[in-house]
Amino acid sequence: MLREIRKTRQHPGEPHRRWFHSQEQDLYVWQAKNGEITAFQLCYNKPHNEHALYWRNDRGFSHLRVDDGEDLPGCSEAPILLADGVFDCETVAQRFCALAAHVPASFYDFILERLKAYPSPNKA
């Protein structure tokens, strides 16, 4: 189950961030002062073959692969995000639904709505 990590580090100049964690997925949600969701990042397929779907209200979607940095020259083994290809929206959405019992309903609805709206090449 995705459970909220209450003491999430906040970064100056960024909207308020909330973090929900499980063994399979991590969900980060950024909120404006009025509570509006301004961005989210759903990391999935943890811990092997980890990917992230990132959505921002001003930029839309990015689909990324999480690289542990071990194979990249000059990296100090810190994870980095790299552009990646096809996003299996249906499978990720199903796992999110199964894990999200402790995610606030407003977040759940918002994320699921965005997942369903993802511009999949299979949608005609």
Q: Is residue 123 part of a domain?
A: no
In a domain, 39, yes or no: yes
Instruction: Please choose, from the candidates 50, 73, 72, the residue with its C-alpha nearest in 3D space to the C-alpha of residue 63.
Output: 50
Say if residues 47 and 66 touch (Cβ distance below 8 Å). no
Q: Print the SS3 string covering the chain.
A: CCEEECCCCCCCCCCEEEEEECCCCEEEEEECCCCCEEEEEEEECCCCCCEEEEEECCCEEEEEEEECCCCCCCCCCCCEEEECCCCCHHHHHHHHHHHCCCCCHHHHHHHHHHHHHCCCCCCC
Q: Looking at the domain assignment, is residue 43 inside a domain? A: yes
What CA–CA distance (Å, rounded) separates 47 from 70? Answer: 15
Q: What is the pLDDT of residues 68-90, one digit of tens each?
A: 655 555 555 555 555 676 788 99
Q: How many domains does the chain have?
A: 1
The length of the chain in residues reads 124
Residue 87: the pLDDT is 86
Instruction: Give the structural domain span for 75.
Output: 3-117
Q: Give the pLDDT confidence score for residue 80 in this predicted structure.
A: 57
Lowest mean per-residue pLDDT among 5-9, 39-43, 47-51, 117-121: 117-121
Task: Answer yes or no: is 122 within a domain.
Answer: no
